[in-house]
């Protein structure tokens, strides 16, 4: 199952889904409701980025699921870390 499908499925059972990045940030954060404090007081380029929304979700008492960590791809040089099956495979786009 693709990570996006898994996030969508998880949203039927929890209030948030977090996909952490191997670099201690996060790749995706899916929310059924929004609170701006999830994104305040975050040192974006520091190692514990994912710890801030994780702690806030717990503080709010929201149920959340944390999926396995992925490699963050946010710079052109990161494109070499794309999973091989994402390129040229129509099944990966479902």
Provide CB contacts within 8 A for 4, sequence distance 6+: none
Q: How many domains does the chain have?
A: 1
pLDDT of residue 93: 45
Question: Per residue in 20-37, is it b (16+ CB within 10 Å) or e — as a string?
Answer: bbeeebbbebbbeeeeee
DSSP class of residue 66 equals E
Does 49 reside within a domain? yes
Note down the domain range covering 24: 3-77
pLDDT of residue 27: 86
Does 84 reside within a domain? no
Does 26 reside within a domain? yes
Does 16 reside within a domain? yes
Does 62 reside within a domain? yes
**Percent of the chain's residues with pLDDT above 90:** 29
Average pLDDT over residues 76-87: 71
pLDDT of residue 31: 95
Strand order, beta sheet including 26-31: 26-31, 16-20, 64-66
DSSP class of residue 16 equals E
Does 12 reside within a domain? yes
Does 93 reside within a domain? no
pLDDT of residue 94: 47
User: Is 90 exceeded by the pLDDT of residue 76?
Assistant: no
Does 83 reside within a domain? no
Residue 87 pLDDT grade (very low, low, confident, very high; cuts 50, 70, 90):
low
d(CA 73, CA 71): 6
């Amino acid at each position: 199952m693709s990570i996006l499908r898994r996030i969508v499925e998880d949203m039927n059972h929890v209030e948030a889904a977090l996909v952490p990045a191997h670099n201690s940030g996060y790749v995706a954060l899916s929310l059924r409701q929004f609170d701006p404090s999830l994104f305040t007081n975050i040192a974006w380029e520091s190692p514990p980025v994912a710890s801030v929304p994780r702690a806030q979700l717990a503080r709010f008492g929201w149920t959340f699921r944390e999926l396995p960590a992925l490699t963050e791809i946010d710079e052109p040089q990161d494109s070499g870390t794309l999973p091989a099956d994402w390129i040229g495979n129509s099944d990966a786009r479902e």
